[in-house]
A and B are shown apart, each in its own frame.
Chain A
């Protein structure tokens, strides 16, 4: 069965600090997809990244970077030089791939990030 664990419920940092949000997943499938979403106070779910299980390359997009490690079943998200606008709840999610008929997303419980000016 699929499972996503975000052990950090809440994190508070001072502006310009770096912060890493942890995500650990469980799946029996060899083909799967991992996602990160941002949910600002306004409530919408903002898509940040999708990564398939065959691509373990780390990715960087501006101040955001993602570290995918199959060996530890983790897909961690780092924000460099955090800003107040990064304050939001961040969700990690998992979808099993074609071998399982592409199941819908299973979400972690989210990490609430507060960036203090």
Chain B
């Protein structure tokens, strides 16, 4: 058990809709990372937060946004969903932004129909 909790595990929604994915970091970790795994792009980094502030940004679409709350959980918001957004979304956490993270949450499988 990585200690990183992601909900929901599965999500099915229609094109054009908006969804929110949630991640609770391992106890004591301040930094949260989001990754997307799609068939065509593979596993890629989306965005990182540290103690509520955005720390690094990867290939994240403008339709996607994230935030980290005072209790350190993070939410990834995906809007105007397209079929191509169907993917596995993973979250990871680390104690500090300069500490490499190892374990990931179980992921949220998003299916856009």
Contacts and interface: CB of A to CB of B under 8 A. Distances in A.
A102 interface: yes
Interface stretch (A22-30, A54-62, A78-86, A103-111): A103-111
Interface string B59-76: 000000000000000000
- Interface size range on A against B: 20 to 34
A99 to B, nearest CB: 10
Contacts of B109: 43
A45 B37 CA distance: 11
Interface residues of B, number: 23
Nearest to A93: B43
B44 A102 contact: no
A105 B45 contact: yes
Nearest to A98: B98
A109 B98 CA distance: 25
B107 interface: yes
Given A101-B56, A102-B99, A105-B35, 20 more contacts: A37-B104, A43-B106, A43-B109, A44-B104, A44-B107, A45-B104, A47-B2, A47-B102, A91-B43, A97-B100, A102-B97, A102-B100, A104-B33, A104-B56, A105-B33, A105-B43, A105-B45, A105-B100, A106-B45, A107-B42
